[in-house]
A = this chain, B = another copy of it.
């Protein structure tokens, strides 16, 4: 694993490959993207036919688009889907006719305060068509007739999602979920896809106590479809993260699960604190990404959402400015490392018990106490904390939190003490739920 920057570059390269594709909640854009992802990690695809009822929702007709433009009277494409797929209102119904500037204007969307940016707009469940343009394009339109073409289809097909499942020694499962329905937008959410792909790749070659499930799904309807088709599997989710907006240089924001104090909530908070970078821990709220579905009251899963800059809080959000420059290899790598550290906590969070719980053991005799002046040193302290709290009721994360030391220091101390027979591992038996 290259931690020196090369990995961030690889992650950015994956984003670059996925960037031009026009994705939506259904259609070939998602399929092409999943094919690319499938070159890096093993994927299991699912196609959910249009019209399938998934809880309160129905899978919509499949949307595909080949071309779209607005031509002026001289035949010039003044708005051109080939230049940027954001130009088309996502899920636009087909159009092919001439119309006045007045009629056209009702179908154009721009951002006056950012005159060179194209907004990102969708209309999944209401039949509509439109174009998203820069304010400059809008201002340049003249009083004339325009030829408007959206060469799209809405037809029976399916919604596509894919999973990468990595079994571990236990069926206790970690869910990592990211949405794959956004077209040329990098932070929201090619960044999440890329970090998820590289986390899965990292885990592929590793011994895993926990099982892992990486979901690459269209937002909202995809998550709802997956939950509808996997109600039993959902019960195995012991920890989960929704990854989104993890490629920009902003401070980390972690939104806690609905339960608010689950192991993943505590693990992320611990890792962010120990890493020392600016971050904020947010209470759960029912607005955001697919944690909304995972944390709906019928499921109430321990799933939080990791972000850097938060949706709606950075001006580039849902505009063409959320581009390949907005996400950086450095930020991607930091996000990857943060997630990996969180997974390390979840993997290593055993609960030990002293083999003999009375008094401190004689550490000096075993070479386990390093004399170092008047203060005990982190290594000694970590051992003393573990020995004091290894009563079968405190996990290593509990001990890290109470001691103020890092999980890794506590984990190493416990491993060393266990090697000396001073601790008995109370890790969950494979296949038992905890």
Contact = CB atoms under 8 A, between A and B. Distances in A.
Interface of A: 55-57, 125-126, 220, 223-224, 227-228, 231, 258, 285-287, 292-293, 295-300, 312, 317-318, 354, 356-362, 364-365, 374-376, 380-381, 384-385, 387-391, 403
Contact of A312 (B295, B365, B375, B385): B375
Interface of A is mostly: loop
Q: How many copies of the polypeptide does the oligomer hold?
A: 3
A220 B387 CA distance: 15
Nearest to A221: B362
Nearest to A220: B360
Contact of A125 (B227, B287, B364): B364
Contacts of A285: 381, 385, 403
Contacts of A391: 297, 300
B55 A356 contact: yes
A227 B298 contact: no
A299 B358 contact: yes
A380 B287 CA distance: 9
A286 B359 contact: no
16 contacts: A55-B358, A57-B359, A258-B388, A292-B360, A293-B360, A295-B388, A296-B357, A296-B360, A297-B354, A297-B387, A297-B390, A298-B358, A298-B359, A312-B375, A317-B374, A318-B374
Given A125-B364, A375-B312, A376-B287, A388 B297 contact: yes
B361 A297 contact: no
A57 B366 CA distance: 11
A95 to B, nearest CB: 21
Contacts of A299: 358-359
